[in-house]
Chains A and B, each alone.
Chain A
Amino acid sequence: MDIRSFCSQSRVVIVAGKGGVGKTTMVAALAHLAAGAGMSVLVIELEGRSGVSHAFGGSGDLGYAGAVLHAAGATEVGDDTGDLGAPIPAGVVHARTITPDDALLEYLDDHGMRRFSKRLLSSGIIDIVAGAIPGIRDILVLGKVKQIEQQGIADLVLVDAPATGHTMTFLSSASGLLDAARGGPIRAQAADVVALLSDPKRCQVALVTLPEEMPVNEVVEAAYQLEDSVGIALGPVIVNACYPAVDSLTTPAGDTVAAAGVDLDPALVDSLEQARRFRQRRHELQEGQVGRLASELPLAQLRVPYLFTDAIGPAELDTLSQALAAGIEALHETDPVAR
């Protein structure tokens, strides 16, 4: 499948996974990929973290106003996106943070209740309201995502979701609220959000995991829960940090060194061998887990290589998005997308 059709399957892609699996990095890699294919991309951060910005070589803080992270052909990234509602140019990645407070202020403004908005926030009453009205924070944020989707300002809207445990609450808040609220604009908002989440042409979830036992268990469980309780479509599972197979590493270090005809200190050969065996063992474990994931979850997989660094910058981003691209190109048009 080509990159553009892959990234155009739904305008909103919510990237979810348990903490520590590299969700934010995958958001950045997908954004980079889609922009490279000439699409306009908006990244939405929900937890005010700066990982996406760092990956693109930016300074960090995104804020509600957001920042331009990547522009094809441009040499600099800027902090000022100008009009938030203006369409994003092709090949450009914008990113912004949306918090419930921001979303509420905007919501009240939009609904002619501006004069209450400051007081709701300054008195701390919003916390009480949020406590009394289940899921209102999530609805406000998802409502904002829906609004952005409908404005059509970007070809692809990538949402960096909260860690899995909270993702469930986050994504099921809308249906929960439909149950709790019988009227009022918030209920209407919740209905709109449910409509967005349950339409695979508008919104999908990309789950991210690691090729390890517990992360695989969790992603399988999360996938079924998302389908069953939220009714949301799932895209391919992104398996992050996979050791690529390196054929030469199946040969013991001593043999390779001898074959090369170099004379090395036995302690060095031993270090090479230990590192080799460690990696081979990790690789073996990984293959077992990836295989299990495939058998327990009938979704296509996109493998992303393990990098020896945690610090993701533009160079690493390039490597990761190329790996995603290779995986996507190998997908068949008919590969299952869960409905």
Chain B
Amino acid sequence: MTTPTPDAGPASDGTAPDGIDEVVRDRSIIVCCGSGGVGKTTTSAAIALQAARLGRTACVVTIDPARRLANSLGVDELSNSPTRIEGDWPGELHALMLDPKGTFDDLITRYSDSEAQAEDIRVNRIYRNLTGTLSGTQEYMAMEKLHELVEEGGFDVIVVDTPPSRNALDFLDAPRRLTHFLENRVFQALMAPTRVGLRFMGVAAQALLRTISKVAGADIVHDAVAFFQAFEGMEEGFRLRAARVRELLVQPTTAFVLVASPRPDSVDEAIHFAAKLAESDMSATALIVNRVQPRFATDDQLATLTSTLGPGRVGDGPPAALADLVDNLAGYTLASDREEAAFAAAVAEVAPAPVYRIPLLNTDVHDLGSLADVADLLFTPAPR
């Protein structure tokens, strides 16, 4: 199998990021972003494992509901608080699986004025459904968990495996989206109809609420109002928290690692995400392309084969068995060419950030041994 080589190795001129080795050695927050099905969870776990192998105390946070992380770490279940994974490395490796609902409950408890208020919120039907229904809530809770882990201290580095958002913005916008939701003027107007300056708003709000009632039933509106009433006064806490999360994300010790597969849709999302990061004054620190098809021959070699053997499967061509062999080799070469072409644009978009290719592996990653193999492919070997 081919050995993956980064396009740009660690740069020393100070103009380019130092690459994934520097990230895992020095950064304190590593956010892995990418679409679903690209091996993001495995990559996150491999990064955390490498940090532990370098002697750091690392924690990987995943939101992956399919227990893939638990699978690859060789444990059955992970919980909403860090579980230490035992292994033969100088540092520490911890892992947690985000429970968005549980994290939200904790947040409610923290920011409510009283246990009564917290309870009002917890029993509200709309709140109970919120983590599953308000787009961005999972992302928000991932950020919240990150914040909590940073506050509590104890980890040198936290690796966050982000939810596979269809919209890359969800992740960066998540905290703002929730506060926006809670501050919604229609419902605020309804709760405080006499507040100065909101009189007109109140009229408009009433009309809209009537429409909503008509479509969805009065109960829903009643529940919604109760929901917003229960949350009243908590917005400020959420807003402060959201601002603090953003500070965490823009600090220079935070790295964003884009993870992609060579599929066109995944590459498009990686490009989109790199652009969004740039808009928010952040930048991709590295791009990791997973599951790259190995290449077994150069174009010249293939041309030699064809000219030596003649056209396959017709007349004087090679026997079928040999033609099968050649087709197979040519197929992998073609697949490899197409992949390179597909992610060329992503490579350009993240420049000068380095790009790493991890070949399609012969075995699925489902234990610490194979996870270590991935880390070996990605990183310069750690001193043992």
Contacts and interface: CB of A to CB of B under 8 A. Distances in A.
Interface in A73-116: 107-108, 111, 113, 116
Given A128-B186, A129-B212, A221 B296 contact: no
B322 interface: yes
A84 B263 CA distance: 33
Interface in B198-230: 207-208, 211-220, 223-224, 227
Contacts of B309: 262
A21 B37 contact: yes
A267 B142 CA distance: 51
Contacts of B219: 181-184
Interface string A175-188: 01001111111110
B304 A180 contact: no
Contacts of A49: 265
A282 B362 contact: yes
A279 interface: yes
A309 B335 contact: yes
A260 B318 contact: yes
A311 B338 contact: yes
Interface stretch (A5-13, A58-66, A211-219): A211-219
B129 interface: yes
A134 B301 contact: no
A116 B126 contact: no
Given A19-B35, A217-B66, A256 B132 contact: no
A20 B207 CA distance: 44
A113 B214 contact: yes
A165 interface: yes
Contact of B133 (A134, A165, A282, A311): A134
Contacts of B320: 248
Contact of B66 (A179, A218, A310): A218
B321 A165 contact: no
A138 to B, nearest CB: 9
A275 B329 contact: yes
A186 B216 contact: yes
A133 interface: yes
Given A256-B322, A257-B322, A281 B362 contact: yes
A4 interface: no
A43 B164 CA distance: 25
A135 interface: yes
A20 B37 contact: yes
B240 interface: no
B90 interface: no
B38 interface: yes
A51 interface: yes
Nearest to A135: B133
Nearest to A243: B328
Interface residues of A, number: 75
A268 interface: yes
A276 interface: yes
B321 A259 contact: yes
A299 interface: no
A51 B265 contact: yes
A323 interface: no
Interface in B26-53: 35-38
A181 B129 CA distance: 12
B364 A134 contact: no
A162 B301 CA distance: 42
Contacts of B175: none
Interface in B211-253: 211-220, 223-224, 227
Contacts of B335: 308-309
A128 B190 CA distance: 14
A106 to B, nearest CB: 13
A15 to B, nearest CB: 16
Nearest to B68: A214
A153 interface: no
Interface string B324-362: 111011011011001100100000000000000000001
Interface string A130-169: 1111111000000000000000000000000011011001
B261 interface: yes
B194 interface: no
Contacts of B132: 134, 169, 176
Contacts of B263: 20, 310
Contact of B181 (A51, A131, A274): A131
B227 A248 contact: no
A132 B66 contact: no
A180 B216 CA distance: 10
A311 B334 CA distance: 12
Interface of A: 18-21, 47, 49, 51, 107-108, 111, 113, 116, 119-120, 123, 125, 128-136, 162-163, 165-166, 169, 173, 176, 179-187, 212-214, 217-218, 221, 246, 248-249, 251, 253, 256-257, 259-260, 262, 264-265, 267-268, 271-272, 274-276, 278-279, 281-282, 285, 308-311
Given A181-B220, A279-B332, 20 more contacts: A116-B207, A132-B227, A133-B216, A133-B220, A134-B133, A169-B132, A181-B216, A214-B68, A217-B71, A256-B321, A262-B309, A262-B322, A272-B329, A275-B325, A276-B328, A278-B294, A278-B296, A279-B328, A281-B362, A308-B334
Interface of B: 1, 35-38, 65-66, 68, 71, 125-126, 129-130, 132-135, 164, 166, 181, 184, 186-187, 207-208, 211-220, 223-224, 227, 261-266, 294, 296-297, 301, 304-305, 308-309, 318-322, 324-326, 328-329, 331-332, 334-335, 338-339, 342, 362-364, 366
